[in-house]
């Protein structure tokens, strides 16, 4: 088959981007021809993918996305017929991979009344409606029950076009037990004492990932615990606001920020707890990566994969609506009982038994199924 994959931007460390690449590689491995339309691309282009750079510019994101859509529409009409698979919401799509949460739900629950009168709202609302609205025929590959609930609430009648995928963790994240040697080397390299706690947060887009919530929770710890707690943040984003908040909370000397990197398993081995109180997250692969690495997890129910933490009993999930005091209290609770609750062993066991690795294959199966219909 000939497939056209649409994604605004690719960089190696985003969850959406990694999913896109795994699915694209699975499709090329099955012998399909895959064109990729992207405005920006960081890193190497895998053999088998035909990257088509979309040369558009604009002063605002909404204008940029409209120009991208128009350019790709013209290119598709001028090329051989293909099944169009999108990784961002937009018109043109036969199949959509739902890496992002429901925009309509976010606008309703996280924005003020006047937001609906903005051009930004009109743009993203129309693009989401093009995928999930009543007149759409787009098949959507979703990542969690949370997404299904939100999309069916705001777009009645779309349920038959929603297809839930299993997670797609990379198999190199799976371990049989926590590696004491790697943990020791990591902590020595970064100056983490044996009696210190290391909190870890991983994710690109610091604002939406709730880094501010994490820092406030850390700052709320009793001095005796705070004085021996350090925080590592790994992800691709500007750190100015994070630094400013850490200084205001007087914990900047206990904070280290790293750009996206390839040795995440070392961080998972060296840390004591993963904290991830995202404002909204369609999935949250890092929750599962930490779990199957034996790292206890503290997260929020706003993350699509938070239900895995509850099933695995590998940490604590803060309920919605979010309350900072609840996160603060749970962080203290976990640090006081890291080795008594069995969170680490439960996570390792979950990684041995649950289907957490087959997403690329399942997605390619659905693409093949619905490409025949289209």
Per CATH, 2-166+358-373 and 172-353 having the same topology is answered: yes
Q: What is the CA radius of gyration of the chain?
A: 21
Q: Whole-angstrom Cα distance, residue 59 to residue 78?
A: 27
73 vs 37, 93, 99, CA distance in Å? 11, 10, 22
For residue 374, pLDDT over 80 is answered with: no
Q: Give residue-wise pLDDT tens across range 313-334.
A: 999 999 999 999 999 999 999 9
Q: What are 167-180's pLDDT values in tens digits?
A: 999 888 889 999 99
Alpha carbon of 354 to those of 99, 131, 240, 350: distances in Å? 21, 31, 39, 6
Q: How high is the pLDDT of residue 14?
A: 85
pTM value is: 0.91
Model pLDDT for residues 48-73, shown as the tens digit of each residue: 999 999 999 999 999 999 999 999 99
Residue 373 — pLDDT band, cuts 50, 70, 90? low
Distance CA 27, CA 276 (A): 32
Check residue 372 and give its pLDDT: 62
Contact call for residues 84 and 69 (beta carbons, < 8 A): no
Tens digit of each residue's pLDDT (9 = 90 or more) over 72-127 = 999 999 999 999 999 999 999 999 999 999 999 999 998 998 999 999 999 999 99
The CATH number of domain 172-353 is 3.40.50.2000: yes
Cα–Cα dist 86/246, whole Å:
38
Question: What number is the average pLDDT over the span 238-244?
Answer: 97
For the chain, the domains span 2-166+358-373, 172-353
pLDDT at 339: 85
Burial of 147 (0-12, 13-18, 19+ CB in 10 A): buried
Q: Inform me whether the pLDDT recorded for 38 exceeds 80.
A: yes
Mean pLDDT of the chain: 96
pLDDT for 74 equals 98
Architecture of domain 2-166+358-373: 3-Layer(aba) Sandwich (3.40)
Q: How many CB atoms lie within 10 A of CB 340?
A: 7
pLDDT tens-digit series, residues 262-298: 899 999 999 999 999 999 999 999 999 999 999 999 9
293, 311 Cβ separation under 8 angstroms: no
């Amino acid at each position: 088959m000939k497939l056209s994959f649409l994604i605004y931007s690719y960089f190696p460390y985003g969850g959406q981007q990694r999913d896109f690449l795994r699915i694209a590689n699975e499709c090329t491995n099955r012998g399909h021809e895959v064109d990729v339309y992207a405005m920006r691309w960081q890193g190497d282009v895998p053999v088998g993918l035909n990257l088509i750079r979309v040369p558009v510019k604009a002063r605002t994101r909404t204008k940029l996305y409209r120009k991208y859509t128009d350019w790709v529409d013209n290119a598709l009409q001028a090329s051989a017929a293909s099944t169009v698979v999108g990784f961002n919401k937009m018109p043109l799509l036969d199949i959509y991979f739902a890496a992002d949460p429901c925009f309509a739900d976010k606008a309703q629950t996280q924005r003020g009344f006047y937001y609906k009168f903005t051009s930004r709202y009109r743009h993203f609302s129309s693009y989401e409606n093009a995928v999930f609205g009543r007149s759409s025929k787009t098949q959507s590959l979703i990542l969690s029950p949370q997404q299904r609930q939100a999309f069916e609430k705001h777009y009645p009648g779309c349920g038959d076009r929603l297809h839930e995928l299993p997670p797609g963790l990379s198999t190199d994240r799976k371990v049989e037990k926590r590696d004491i040697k790697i943990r020791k080397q990591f902590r020595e390299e970064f100056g983490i004492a044996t009696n210190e706690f290391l909190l870890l947060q991983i994710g690109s887009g610091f604002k939406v990932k709730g880094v501010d919530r994490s820092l406030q929770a850390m700052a709320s710890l009793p001095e005796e615990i705070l004085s021996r707690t350090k925080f590592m943040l790994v992800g691709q984003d500007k750190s100015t606001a994070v630094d400013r908040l850490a200084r205001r909370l007087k914990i900047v000397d206990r904070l280290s920020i790293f750009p996206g990197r390839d040795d995440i398993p070392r961080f998972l081995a060296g840390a004591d707890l993963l904290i991830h109180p995202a404002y909204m997250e369609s999935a949250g692969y890092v929750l599962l990566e930490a779990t199957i690495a034996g790292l206890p997890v503290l997260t929020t129910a706003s993350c699509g994969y938070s239900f895995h933490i509850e099933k695995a009993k590998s940490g604590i999930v803060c309920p919605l609506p979010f309350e900072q005091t609840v996160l603060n209290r749970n962080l203290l609770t976990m640090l006081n009982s890291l080795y008594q609750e069995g969170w680490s062993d439960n996570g390792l066991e979950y990684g041995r038994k649950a289907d957490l690795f087959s997403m690329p294959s399942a997605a390619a199966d659905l693409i093949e199924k619905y490409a025949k219909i289209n």
